[in-house]
Structure 1
Amino acid sequence: METVFTRILAGEIPAALVYRGPEVFAFMDAGQLNPGHVLVAPCHPYPTLLDMPEDLAATMMRLAWRVGQAVQSAFQPDGLTLLQANRPAGWQTVAHAHIHVLPRYENDGVGLVWPRKDPDLAVLQAYAARIILP
């Protein structure tokens, strides 16, 4: 499967690489929300996080942690958001799993709509009972 990210890896699309390893890579997001906005992705184009092996997901998160440390040091943001989205309904816009490492600043204009539902404890317990870990 070819994606914009695989094309970056192949050198077909220019990019500012931060890291390239055998399994994962990191590069500057062309649509910078704030200076230092980096994307971390697997080299193989898994459509979502749920499609990749668990060990690779862990490797991707370890790189996101390392990138976050480096972004914090380089840009000194007030905060840092890690965002990983799956499928369009989950806000994923590129069908190649990735994590945004986004430096945040007070009043930077970046928003997140989070309309709380606040169900009672019995409903939460019923939801929890439905979740069976593999």
Structure 2
Amino acid sequence: MECVFCAIAAGELPGHRVLADPVAVAFLDARPLFPGHVLVVPRRHVETLTDLPEADVGPFFARVRRVAGAVERGMAAAGSFVAANNRVSQSVPHFHVHVVPRNRKDGLRGFFWPRGRYPSEEAAAEAAARIRAALEDGRADDGPG
């Protein structure tokens, strides 16, 4: 089956587009957290952030930044939540960034899942060391594995 986001970007499927250019397409989420919840997708099909070519990262996120400002102004929101899933919880396997208008006391609390603490400073240091090591060997650019 063809990618639904690619089909929306190509105009083959309907979507309430708010931005379309050679770099990205942004459209209203069909199942919004709040009215004005927008998805920003790269026009080029890539499944995850780590699949997005490095040269495309800056131009793509410039569009995300622009859409975030427009969502806040257009929806008279106090701010916005900007987030992306990478594989897990990614309902469509085409990289996308959620831009959600936010207001105080809107019913959302921080992230949308339970947050916790590291069991110890040692556990936090170990997690940080593993990420630093992955950055040093370049694996962070390639995703898992």
Identity level (%): 39
Shift of 1:59: 2.2
Q: C-alpha separation between the residues in 1 aligned to 2:51 and 2:121?
A: 32
Aligned length: 132
How far apart are 1:62 and its partner, in Å? 1.4
Q: Quote the Cα distance in structure 1 between the aligned partners of 2:13 and 2:79.
A: 30
Cα deviation, residue 101, structure 1: 0.4
Pairwise CA distance, 1:9: 2.0
Q: Does 1:50 align with 2:50?
A: yes
Q: Distance in 1 between matches of 2:21 and 2:10?
A: 13
For residues 39 and 106 of structure 1, the distance between their equivalents in structure 2, rounded to whole angstroms, comes to: 22
Q: TM-score, normalised by structure 2?
A: 0.81
C-alpha distance in structure 1 between counterparts of 2:120 and 2:54, whole Å: 33
**1:6-85 matched pairs, under 5 angstroms:** 6-85=6-85
1:67 offset after TM fit, Å?
Answer: 0.6
Secondary structure in 1 matching 2:50: helix
Q: Which moved more, 1:101-110 or 1:49-58?
A: 101-110
State the Cα deviation string for residues 16-64 of structure 1 (Å, max 9, x = none).
1111111211111122221211110111110111111123233222111
Q: Which of 95, 98, 101 pairs up with 1:100?
A: 98
Query: Aligned partners of 1:86, 1:73: CA distance in 2, in Å?
Result: 28
Q: d(CA) in 1 for partners of 2:59 and 2:115?
A: 32
Measured in 1, the distance between the counterparts of 2:118 and 2:128 equals 15
- How well do the aligned residues superpose, as a CA RMSD in angstroms? 1.8
- For 1:58 and 1:93, the matched residues in 2 are separated by 24
After superposition, the C-alpha distances for 1:48-98 in whole angstroms (9 at most, x for unaligned) are: 1111112323322211111111111111213310110011x3x21110000
How far apart are the structure 2 equivalents of 1:29 and 1:102? 9
Give yes or no for contact 1:38–1:100 (8 Å, CA) kept in 2.
Answer: yes
